[in-house]
Structure 1
Amino acid sequence: MSQQEQDSPQVFDFHKRKKGSEQVSEDDSNLNANLQEILAKVESSQKLKIVIFDIDVKAMNALSSILKPQYDVYCLTDPLDALKIIGTKKIALVISDQALPNMNILGVDFLLKAKKIAPNTSRILLAGQLDFGKAKLSLEKGDVFKLIKKPFDDNRLLEFVNAALELYLEQSGSLASAAAKLQKNSPNFDKEITIAKTIPASANPVLVKCSSDEIFEEIKASYTGKALFIRAEDRKSAIKVLETTIVKAVIYFFERANILEDHETIFLSQVKRELPHLSIIAVVNKDKTNYQDIINLLSEQIIFSYFPFNTRAEKICQQLSPAIDKATRLYEGPIYLKWPPPERVEEVEEEEVALADKLTDISSKVKEGFLSGIRSVKNLFGKKD
């Protein structure tokens, strides 16, 4: 990276090294020795930095042990100390518990203060069973990245933390540059960055899955709103784009197949489940499509709208603006497709229970039929006697 790029306010330098004890600012001179030591560690760290605020030291240490293998974690029990670090150093994520007994502050209030001090820093709020409902009611959209109920699964928490840190990198101005540095110098950032430059959600990325470059160019030329168009030739290419790029809308051409063939309905359902903000516009071959299937997809809100394959690009683009608007309203942060999607244990269990019920029902009917047959044979021999 050139010196000009390093000095640019658009590039967020996560790896500015400590030059010596003078690195701690004069404003920190009146702080206690413990906080000064933490500030010095934060400044010299090369990893993404996380602040955990809680008064339950045991719970805080348990959470810290989950995160420390990948991140630099700083645990604080005093809200003023925590806010001082958040306001003066480059903290990527703040995690707070909602319940803070014997303090005149709740976790949601603390994170609102953190938001005002460092709006780009991501925030996660933890809440127990009793506090979760009140915390959810008191939060406004954008106050935190995630509200997580305790007890939580460690792996699931790490997924949320990774996503929150991606949001921080994106909001800080240079996701690709920062991620490249982190991958080179730190083992904690495990997402492979293949994009040459950041594609922010504000660019309204639209994925067009079609085999024809002519159709793609026609749609691009017909749309008058703000959007960044990306083309995928087939389903495999579409998956790769959704795995690495924030996308708000998909125009999906079913050019040769029935929408039910090759598990296309299942595919769209899985994509929508993993990316709930995504708006999908289906363009179908009317000669090979059962329109009842389309109605079902619409009623289940898997697709946003549909068009026959010979529809003009201008008409398709008329639906694109409301599709992007809806995705923007639902969008809560950078979410990428995970493929194949994780197994849904609860759904598997439901299917197993349903199958067991069916087998029990069949077994009962077979048994009843068998006994009925025996009774019929007995009656027959009784009549002959």
Structure 2
Amino acid sequence: MISSVMGAGVFRDLWFRAGARTLRYRMAGALGRLRANGGLILRKAVAAGVAWGVAHVLLGHQNPSFAAIAAIISLGAAAGREGRQAVELVLGVACGLAIADVFVSAIGSGAVQIGVVVALATAVALLIGESELLVTEAAVSALLMVTLVPASPAPFTGRFLDALIGSGMALAVRAVFPENPRRKVREAARPVFGELAGVLEEVAGALEAGDLEWAERALGRARAMDGRVEDLREALSSGYGASRLSPARRRALGELGFYSTAAGQLDLAVRNVRVLARAARALIRSGHPRAQGLPAAVRQLAGSVGALGVYLERLENPGEARALALEAAAGATAVLVEHKELETSMLVGQIRSTAVDLLQASGMSYTESLQALDEAAIKRTSEVQSAR
């Protein structure tokens, strides 16, 4: 009985500790999200407050909440867009809201009115321009107007001007308090480097153990990487838009250029690693003697990926990333001295291709990458042949 009670007490103690740790983790995550989005909170607060104040003080509108609404909608719609796209978006917001206000003032709101207002706002937006963003924002803004905001007695002299003030204020706030494009791109790049290195580590482990199931898991991870690369491309597009619109962020363009160059090559590297994982699976399935140098070469590729991520964040020296990529390619090529099976040759070819992608991502040209790789491979192969 006593031992049972003591056991229950220990269990409750462990349960409370686990709960406390979970709560701390969640609080830390929540605070991290709050810190990461502090700029967004500031931009929305300033845009809404200043838009309301300008419409109230300068235009004399008694309740210009519409200006604040338009500012928030426009700020969210224009996030990450180029300057021209941002202007089209805020114009669409103003257009859709104004049309909806006029229409609701005349016939009220309801299911039929919603359909008519959305169609009318879309048609007017198409008369202004053919941008899909412009048309979409006009329709969405009109829908919000019909469903959420009561009609105005003087729409054209009231809310339309409020919409223009709110939208213009969103652009101004976006220029004065822009997103940090470097941070956004770095955060999008880290999962790409981390996952790519992780896949290569798994491939190396599968080769070392001759484990077909392990190789299948690595291939599955490699196939799921496209979304992460696309997130990086979107972050780059958003970063370029913020940098070009805001003078305060123009200095970020240089760093974004390094990431832009790397992103294209990382896309190719992800595809090559996918083929590399398939080649590793084929080699394991074939049952041929596995060369000892191949797992080491794949692990060196993983190290090169990690070093490349560090280089892009610090922009110090890509030497480590390049050295590891060359070492991987040279070591894999030297394996062919003793192992000439088709499956081995295919895997070596993919290791070399991935190494070239990583060298180019570090800033080397295609010609320079091939030349450096061939020199390293010839040297290593000669050393292996001399040692036999």
- The structure richer in helix per residue is 2
- Structure 1 and Structure 2 fold alike (TM over 0.5): no
Structure whose CA Rg is larger: 2
Larger relative CO (CA 8 A, sep 6+): 1 or 2? Answer: 2
Per the normalisation by structure 1, the TM-score is: 0.29
